[in-house]
Structure 1
Amino acid sequence: MDAKQAFRTINQGQISSVYVCYGTESYIMNEFIERLQEKLVQPEHREMAIVRFDTGETPVDTVIDEAETLPFLVPSKIVLVRDQVLFAAGKESAKIEHRPERLIAYMEQPLESTVLVFTVPLEKLDERKKTVKTAKAKDCVVPFAALQPEELLRWIVKRAASQGRTMEADAADELLRRVGTDMRALAAETDKLCLHAGQGGTVSSSAIRELVPMATEQNVFKLTEQLAALRTAEAISLYHELLKQREEPIKLMALLVRQFRNMLYVKELGGQGYSSQQMASQIGLHPYAAKITAEQARKFSMERLAALLGELADLDYAMKSGKIDKTLGLELFLLRTGSRGAS
């Protein structure tokens, strides 16, 4: 089942005895586990009804022993297990011996009063393992992948609406461009903006620009946009602002290298017919970051990106060897790049 279906079924009171949750979007995964806890456990019973393990430290036999033990003084319990060994291709500790056949047998006949939840913070499960095949056959595998750009925008708008506020799509997009794709940070900033707007109010783009500081990586996105558009003065102004915030020029240069390299990858993959989602997975970017990177990449030629990466490599050596002042060196690079543009 997918994440939406999993949320829907637990809201309807249809709770499975075993869940294998995996994926890179930890915020939604944690939200799902919190929803399970709300449905099954009274707040005052959480200490007795929720047990946590990590397969990197505890053998699966201990986990199953706990799962097979009837809950004490509560009607049901949740056993939460962090795992990168039983369902993924993680390396087993030499000190911990696992018997996956014990887990497979339990999944065939789980205890009704226990909800056993495995969380695997990885993009994929190891499809070769019998544990994964059994979990899929029981329909208890739930993927938590990063939201697509449109889904992320809708999620922000919906979070504001749930608090009695209105946020238009362009304002949500502005928030994404300033904060990035970390859902925990987005949730915190959305809640802050809703508090500022007041009950029944509207969260506007101007309020976001006034109240939400731009994250360093998002500033680097903006910096490359200014360079591509030949807005050299704006690029230098933004660089000086980052210096005032005590950002290190070497760190900023490393982020620029990563962004130009990602643009080069996106252009190469786009030329091979890859979709935005496929490019995001191939490069290891969030889908929204891949979308923004693709938009920027269209403004640069392949040759120009390769040349810029070469210049940055030379600059990195000069800065770290003391041949040029690091603050001045990066400013000179921005001046040269902005004056020549993307072609």
Structure 2
Amino acid sequence: MEYRMALKELRDGKIKPYYICFGTETYLMNDFIERLAGSLVEPEHRDMAIIRFSTSENGTDEILEEAQTLPFLVPSKLILVRDSVVFAAGRDSAKVEHRPERLLEYMSAPMDSTVLVFVVPHEKLDERKKLVKYAKDKDAVVSFAPLPAEELMQWVARRAESRNRRIEPPAVEELLRRVGSDMGALAAEIDKLILYAGEAGTIAADAVVQLVPASTEQSVFKLTEEIAALRTDRALALYYDLLKQREEPIKLTALLVRQFRNMLFVKELGKQGYTPQQMAGQLGLHPYAAKIMAEQARSFSVERLTAVLDRLAELDYGMKTGRVEKTLGLEMFLLKTGSEGGQ
């Protein structure tokens, strides 16, 4: 079940006795769990009604004993279990015993007063396990995958609208370029921009530039974009800003290697007919990052990308062996790469 369907069921008052929540989009997962808790537990009862376990420290017998115990002074309780071994393919600890057959028995006859949630922060569950198959048959598995690029942009706009603000499309794009695709970080920055805009205000791109600092990774992303667009002066300005922030040239070089390597992969996958969403899955990127990377890659031929990666490898070796002065070496790389163009 996709998380939107699970949210709809919550709004309709349909709460399952157990959920297996998995995926890499932790913001959406935490949001769902918080909504579930809000539907089950009064704010003043949270300390008594919400119990937390981890399968790395607690066996299934201990978890099930709590699940089968009637709640104390509250009508229902929520048990949250962080898991990497029972429903995923992680290794069991020798110190903790898990008996999946007992959990399967419980799932066939769960307590009415308990909602049991397994939180699995992995891209996939272990489909070979009977527990996973049974939970899927009961429609109790909820997937939390990263939002596609367009949906992520719509989510940003909706968050602003929900607080009676409007965010202009260029401002959304600038925000994503500066913060990246981390929904938790995006939410924090949107809320800051909402306060700045004031009641019924509009958030423009210049407000994002003024108020939202770019992360190192996003600055390197922008650095690559400026090189691709032959804007060497802007690339150097970004580099000098990163140096002022005491960023290490060797670290920046490593980030550039990752960026150009991903661009090469994106270019090859594009030739094979992959969509940005499919590329994201292959490369372990967020769909929005894959979309922007595909746009950047258009400015480079495969030959140029290969040559840039070779030059970065030489630069990295020279830096680490002391043959190249780090700050000047990376500056010369930016000057040379930007002046040569993309093709």
Task: Determine the C-alpha separation between the residues in 2 that align with 1:47 and 1:238.
Answer: 48
Shift of 1:273: 1.6
* C-alpha RMSD of the superposition: 0.8
Show CA shifts across 1:151-199 (max 9, x none).
1111111111111111122221111111111111100000000000001
Task: Determine the C-alpha separation between the residues in 2 that align with 1:76 and 1:183.
Answer: 31
The aligned counterpart of 1:56 is: 56
**Residues 23-172 of structure 1 mapped to structure 2, 5 A cutoff:** 23-172=23-172
The aligned counterpart of 2:253 is: 253
Shift of 1:213: 1.2
Show CA shifts across 1:187-223 (max 9, x none).
0000000000001111111111111111111111111
1:322 partnered with 2:322: yes
Shift of 1:318: 0.6
Equivalent residue letter for 1:108: S
The aligned counterpart of 1:192 is: 192
Q: Structure 2: which 5+ residue stretches go unaligned?
A: none
Show CA shifts across 1:242-270 (max 9, x none).
11111111111111000000001111111
The aligned counterpart of 1:14 is: 14
Further displaced range: 150-159 or 166-175: 166-175
Task: Determine the C-alpha separation between the residues in 2 that align with 1:30 and 1:167.
Answer: 25
Which ranges of 4 or more aligned residues in structure 1 deviate by more than 2 Å? none
Equivalent residue letter for 1:257: V
The aligned counterpart of 2:270 is: 270
User: Percent of pairs identical after alignment?
Assistant: 64
Task: Determine the C-alpha separation between the residues in 2 that align with 1:134 and 1:243.
Answer: 54
**Residues 198-277 of structure 1 mapped to structure 2, 5 A cutoff:** 198-277=198-277
Shift of 1:230: 1.5
Shift of 1:16: 0.5
Show CA shifts across 1:121-155 (max 9, x none).
00001111001000001100000000111111111
Task: Determine the C-alpha separation between the residues in 1 that align with 2:46 and 2:277.
Answer: 39
Q: Structure 1: which 5+ residue stretches go unaligned?
A: none
**Residues 277-288 of structure 1 mapped to structure 2, 5 A cutoff:** 277-288=277-288
Equivalent residue letter for 2:152: L
TM-score where L is the length of structure 1: 0.99
Equivalent residue letter for 1:97: E
Equivalent residue letter for 1:197: A
The aligned counterpart of 2:338 is: 338
Task: Determine the C-alpha separation between the residues in 2 that align with 1:169 and 1:3.
Answer: 26
TM-score where L is the length of structure 2: 0.99
Task: Determine the C-alpha separation between the residues in 2 that align with 1:46 and 1:167.
Answer: 35
- Aligned to 2:246, the other structure's residue is in SS state coil
- Aligned to 1:19, the other structure's residue is in SS state strand
Aligned residues, how many? 343
Equivalent residue letter for 2:322: G
Equivalent residue letter for 1:65: E
Task: Determine the C-alpha separation between the residues in 2 that align with 1:275 and 1:132.
Answer: 29
Task: Determine the C-alpha separation between the residues in 2 that align with 1:230 and 1:158.
Answer: 35
- Aligned to 2:264, the other structure's residue is in SS state helix
- Aligned to 2:52, the other structure's residue is in SS state strand
Shift of 1:271: 1.1
Task: Determine the C-alpha separation between the residues in 1 that align with 2:225 and 2:160.
Answer: 29
Task: Determine the C-alpha separation between the residues in 1 that align with 2:168 and 2:112.
Answer: 45
Task: Determine the C-alpha separation between the residues in 1 that align with 2:263 and 2:222.
Answer: 14
Equivalent residue letter for 2:207: A
Task: Determine the C-alpha separation between the residues in 2 that align with 1:94 and 1:43.
Answer: 38
Equivalent residue letter for 2:231: R
Task: Determine the C-alpha separation between the residues in 2 that align with 1:117 and 1:146.
Answer: 20
Shift of 1:237: 1.4
Task: Determine the C-alpha separation between the residues in 2 that align with 1:57 and 1:126.
Answer: 20
Equivalent residue letter for 2:295: E
Task: Determine the C-alpha separation between the residues in 1 that align with 2:183 and 2:56.
Answer: 27
Task: Determine the C-alpha separation between the residues in 2 that align with 1:157 and 1:230.
Answer: 31
- Aligned to 2:47, the other structure's residue is in SS state helix
Further displaced range: 226-235 or 146-155: 226-235
Task: Determine the C-alpha separation between the residues in 2 that align with 1:47 and 1:222.
Answer: 45
The aligned counterpart of 2:293 is: 293
